[in-house]
Amino acid sequence: MKFCIRNPQKRAPRLGILKNIEGRTNIEIETPVVLLHTQGGHIPHVTHEVFKLVSKEPQILQIPLVSMHNFQETMEYYNGTISEFIGNKDSLTCLTLQDPSNLTKQGHHVKEKVPIWTKNGKVLYDSEMYMNIVESFKPDMYYLLSDGDTNKTSAPKRISKAVEHTIIFNNQCLERHKKSNILKKAFVMAPIAGGYCLKSREKCIQAILKNTNELGGFLIDGLHNNGPEVEFLPFEEVRDVVEYVIKSVPQEKLCSVQGCWNPVNVLKLVQQGIDMFDTSYCRILTERSAAMIFPIDNTEEADSFEINLRQSKYVDDFTPIMFSCQCLACSKYSRGYIHHLLTVQELLAPVLIMIHNIHHYLRFFKKIRECIQNNTLSDLENRISEQYKNHQEKVLSAKTEEEPRRTYPRNDVGDVE
């Protein structure tokens, strides 16, 4: 697999393409692209067959190792690829370590090993164990092992250890990659650690760039500990780190981030030159019964940025989730019906919401690519930023109104003896 830039320029909003894919020479993936987040090899709430009703275009599945660890022994005896094993051989796969939609537990560090938290508890991975499972999975793309357990509040010692471990992991994994006949065609991406310390980021980058010829791209790791909180992470906090990393790595390489970034931050990251994201944001919205309805095109109208279909006001609402949306959920079902399904805890409810959210998110990224082509990305960012700001103000106002009034004991009644 090879990454090529379509509009060569300095790091900025840019178009790219992933092509020359082993065994799929007829498939090309345009960037900026969003990986389809999976758990246990499947998109949450949506089967592979149902997703074909959402999109027939080639997609890349994000396979978090933390949700696939229990299949390690089985995959060692399975001759096929991970995409064949999960029943979706037509899709590409990208193996990652952690699940970006779930909070990663902090601490529990062991020298030259990374802890992951599976259903069966903590499992420690070193480079050899990690590369063994990469070879057994045979993904089209994968991230090298890294220590990404840092965030805005991480202590200097923790950051230093994260960089030290990540450099060791990168060197060990790349040595194994070079010797592997199974992975010689795989697209390799190196995580860059260092928290919010630019000097630590520089140290990590300089060590990793020694092997740049073996790498197809980079992951800006260690900005957060994953989970729903990433949705509300202020972009101003990560701006300096992202700008620094983007300027320090080779321009021709793909750059990615992971996490539940909201659409406004996605646009800001694209403006910086990020090429790859994931759909974990769709999952956390669906888990709270929320559906994206922000207008993507100028011709669309919507009454909010997102709606929560659990709210009682939708009980008699027989309109679709979004009038201009052509997804299965909007074409066949109403807000009121989905509200009913949520009320009676019917499993079809999150399925329909997830179908809509993924469809809308894929449309959003298609619009991003169109705007980069037409040099109108700033207009899209301004429009969606304003919608998101208005939505957040409404949410804050509603919470304030819902706060229960404080009650005080009456002082006009005498004591009873």
Q: Where are the domains of the chain?
A: 2-287, 290-381
Question: According to the model, what pLDDT value does residue 72 have?
Answer: 86
pLDDT digit string, tens, across residues 123-163: 999 999 999 999 999 999 999 999 999 999 999 999 999 99
pLDDT digit string, tens, across residues 178-223: 999 999 899 999 999 999 999 999 999 999 999 999 999 999 999 9
Residue 360, annotated ligand binder?
no
| Cα-based distances in Å from 206 to 160, 212, 223, 332 | 15, 10, 19, 54
Buried b (16+ CB within 10 A) or exposed e, 186-205: bbbbbbbbbbbbeebbbbbb
Residue 255, annotated ligand binder?
no
CA torsion sign for 156, 274, 387, 337 is negative
Question: According to the model, what pLDDT value does residue 374 have?
Answer: 93
Rounded Cα gap, residues 144 and 211, in angstroms: 12
pLDDT digit string, tens, across residues 214-270: 999 999 999 999 999 999 999 999 999 999 999 999 999 999 999 999 999 999 999
CATH topology for 2-287 is TIM Barrel (3.20.20)
φ and ψ of 278, to 5 deg? -145, 170
Rounded Cα gap, residues 312 and 103, in angstroms: 30
Question: According to the model, what pLDDT value does residue 416 have?
Answer: 36
Question: According to the model, what pLDDT value does residue 259 have?
Answer: 97
Residue 330, annotated ligand binder?
yes
Residue 325, annotated ligand binder?
yes
Model confidence at 404, in pLDDT bands (50, 70, 90)? Answer: low
Confirm if 17 and 4 have CB atoms less than 8 A apart: yes
pLDDT digit string, tens, across residues 153-177: 999 999 999 999 999 999 999 999 9
How much is the pTM?
0.93
> For the ranges 101-105, 110-114, 244-248, 411-415, which has the lowest average pLDDT?
411-415
Question: According to the model, what pLDDT value does residue 401 have?
Answer: 67
Decide if pLDDT at 413 tops 50.
no
Decide if pLDDT at 26 tops 90.
no
